[in-house]
């Protein structure tokens, strides 16, 4: 067996595993699963192609032996996967070689969070991140494109906090001309609350969201708009490779973050691997192909063989798409975020 933990060709260790548990979603966010592409005729993965909870747990356990300490469940909408609490329970029972449990988080659109928050916490989930792109119902409903109201997401946020799934983070993808006029309203709303609001630059993931550079609102601009009204100061990162740059309000009314995937690439500290719901492992959000671990699992591979395959894949990793991205980057067929997991 290869020596663990593994590092890639740029010396980056494997620390985080994002697991997509389904490619389905009850939203059709215009920047992620636009209706024109993900319409009635769209064919999602058949059930028998999804990794079972046992298969996911087995791979997660091997990834932890390689260095993974944080696991995030995502999708699609992860809370739509039936009995997700059981998977959380199985993952929470895993231990690192030092005997520690993994840090378990989940990203959700919040639609079924209020009813599940307590059960998720009881199963062993540590934290949730909830996506909310606007406080303006007209804009939010147009962005999720299924007329889902803001009030229900706000209710889910409270339920998650009460259930002990905090600090709850709130993700706002900012798209120029669509919801950028809402930046200040969002900042004002979440100031002085336990929620940590994070502004995400609209990214060119997948091939269906019609991304253009001029639709990106650079984090610097977001910060300057907020700083003009509510002065902010930088905070130290929580750990190496943190995607979000942290800021605090100078008057002590809380923390915000910016995720500058486009204007300030963080590939040099990128320690994330992504596992799709059908068992392909991707070493970059912008990868075009993934390694089919399900074929190995279902082909009878031993743990040692799976461990070697993962070590070989990570050891050969050269990815740094965002650092290399430029206007001259030729368009290529990329994997959709709802498939690979955000
Ligand atoms: N359905 C869940 C949700 O929306 O929270 C989890 C999956 S979603 C793909 C994960 C995160 O990716 C969300 O916060 C979403 O806003 C973000 N996202 C999706 N498409 C994006 C894009 N093109 N640019 C930036 N962020 C994006
Ligand atoms: Fe669904 Fe999340 Fe994508 Fe929106 S961002 S369509 S909620 S997977
Ligand atoms: Fe990591 Fe790829 Fe994103 Fe760079 S572009 S930060 S390597 S996922």
What are the domain boundaries of the chain? 16-340
Q: How confident is the model at residue 327 (pLDDT cuts 50, 70, 90)?
A: very low
The span from the CA of 308 to the CA of 112, in Å, is 38
- Low-confidence winner among 1-5, 106-110, 294-298 (lowest mean pLDDT): 1-5
The answer, yes or no, to whether the previous bond of 5 is cis (omega within 30 of 0) is: yes
Q: How confident is the model at residue 104 (pLDDT cuts 50, 70, 90)?
A: very high
Does the beta carbon of 284 lie inside 6 Å of ligand 3?
yes
Average pLDDT of 16-38? 96
Residues 265/320, Cβ–Cβ less than 8 Å: yes
Q: What pLDDT is attached to residue 152?
A: 98
Three-state secondary-structure class, residue 285 = coil
Average pLDDT of 212-226? 95
- Low-confidence winner among 89-103, 187-201, 319-333 (lowest mean pLDDT): 319-333
Q: What pLDDT is attached to residue 326?
A: 59
Pocket probe mutation, ligand 3, options 267, 290, 326, 329, max atoms within 8 Å of Cβ: 267
Question: Cα–Cα distances in Å, from 73 out to 176, 190, 328?
Answer: 28, 24, 34
Does the beta carbon of 271 lie inside 6 Å of ligand 2?
no
Does the beta carbon of 209 lie inside 6 Å of ligand 2?
no
Does the beta carbon of 32 lie inside 6 Å of ligand 2?
yes
Statement: residue 2 has pLDDT above 70:
no
Pocket probe mutation, ligand 2, options 18, 23, 25, max atoms within 8 Å of Cβ: 25
Average pLDDT of 316-328? 79
Cα(253) to ligand 1 centroid in Å equals: 27
Q: Which atom of ligand 3 is nearest the CA belonging to 321?
A: 5
Average pLDDT of 44-63? 97
Pocket probe mutation, ligand 3, options 7, 74, 270, max atoms within 8 Å of Cβ: 270
Q: Which CATH number is correct for 16-340, 3.30.390.30, 1.20.120.450, 3.20.20.70, 3.30.70.1290?
A: 3.20.20.70
Q: What is the DSSP letter of 13?
A: B
Average pLDDT of 198-213? 86
Q: What pLDDT is attached to residue 329?
A: 57
Statement: residue 293 has pLDDT above 90:
yes
Output the average pLDDT for the chain. Answer: 93
Statement: residue 331 has pLDDT above 70:
no
Cα(7) to ligand 3 centroid in Å equals: 15
Does the beta carbon of 277 lie inside 6 Å of ligand 3?
no
Q: How confident is the model at residue 314 (pLDDT cuts 50, 70, 90)?
A: very high
Edge-to-edge strand order for the sheet containing 196-201?
232-234, 245-249, 255-259, 196-201, 169-174, 127-131, 103-108, 70-74, 16-20, 272-275, 280-282, 291-292
Q: What pLDDT is attached to residue 196?
A: 98
Q: What pLDDT is attached to residue 322?
A: 85
Give 95 or 324, the one with higher predicted confidence: 95
Average pLDDT of 59-63? 98
Cα(233) to ligand 1 centroid in Å equals: 27
Statement: residue 86 has pLDDT above 70:
yes
Q: What pLDDT is attached to residue 4?
A: 64
Statement: residue 69 has pLDDT above 50:
yes
Quote the percentage of the chain above a pLDDT of 90.
83
Quote the percentage of the chain above a pLDDT of 70.
96
Residue closest via CA to ligand 2's atom 8 equals 76
Average pLDDT of 147-166? 98
Average pLDDT of 76-87? 98
Burial class (CB in 10 A: 0-12, 13-18, 19+), 250: exposed
Contacts of 52 (CB under 8 A, 6+ apart): none
Cα(54) to ligand 1 centroid in Å equals: 26
Residues 66/4, Cβ–Cβ less than 8 Å: yes
Q: What is the pLDDT of residues 242-265, one digit of tens each?
A: 889 999 999 999 999 999 989 988
The span from the CA of 54 to the CA of 51, in Å, is 8
């Amino acid at each position: 067996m290869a020596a663990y933990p593994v590092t890639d060709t740029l010396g980056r260790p494997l620390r985080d595993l994002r697991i997509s548990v389904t490619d389905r979603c009850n939203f059709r966010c215009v920047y992620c699963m636009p209706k024109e592409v993900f319409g009635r005729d769209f064919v999602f993965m058949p059930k028998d192609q999804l990794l079972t909870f046992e298969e996911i747990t087995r791979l997660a356990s091997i990834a932890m032996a390689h260095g993974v300490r944080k696991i995030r469940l995502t999708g699609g909408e992860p809370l739509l996967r039936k009995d997700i609490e059981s998977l959380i329970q199985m993952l929470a029972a895993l231990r690192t070689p030092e005997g520690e449990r993994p840090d378990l988080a989940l990203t959700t659109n919040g639609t079924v969070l209020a009813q599940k928050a307590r059960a998720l916490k009881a199963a062993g989930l540590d934290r949730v991140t909830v996506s909310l792109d606007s406080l303006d119902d007209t804009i939010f409903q147009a962005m999720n494109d299924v007329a889902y109201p803001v009030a229900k997401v706000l209710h889910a946020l409270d339920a998650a906090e009460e259930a002990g799934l905090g600090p709850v983070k709130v993700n706002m993808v900012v798209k120029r001309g669509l919801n950028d006029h809402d930046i200040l309203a969002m900042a004002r709303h979440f100031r002085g609350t336990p929620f940590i609001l994070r502004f995400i630059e609209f990214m060119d993931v997948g091939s269906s969201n019609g991304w253009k550079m001029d639709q990106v609102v650079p984090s610097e601009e977001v910060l300057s708009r907020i700083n003009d009204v509510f002065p902010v100061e930088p905070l130290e990162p929580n750990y190496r490779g943190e995607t979000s740059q942290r800021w605090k309000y100078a008057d002590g009314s809380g923390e915000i973050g910016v995720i500058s995937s486009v204007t300030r690439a963080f590939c040099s500290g990128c320690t994330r691997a992504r596992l799709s719901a059908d068992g392909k492992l991707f070493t970059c959000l912008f990868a075009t192909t993934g390694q089919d671990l399900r074929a190995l699992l279902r082909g009878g591979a031993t743990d040692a063989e799976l461990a070697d395959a993962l070590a070989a894949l990570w050891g050969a990793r050269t990815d740094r798409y965002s650092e290399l991205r430029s206007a001259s980057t030729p368009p290529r067929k990329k994997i959709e975020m709802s498939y690979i997991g955000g």
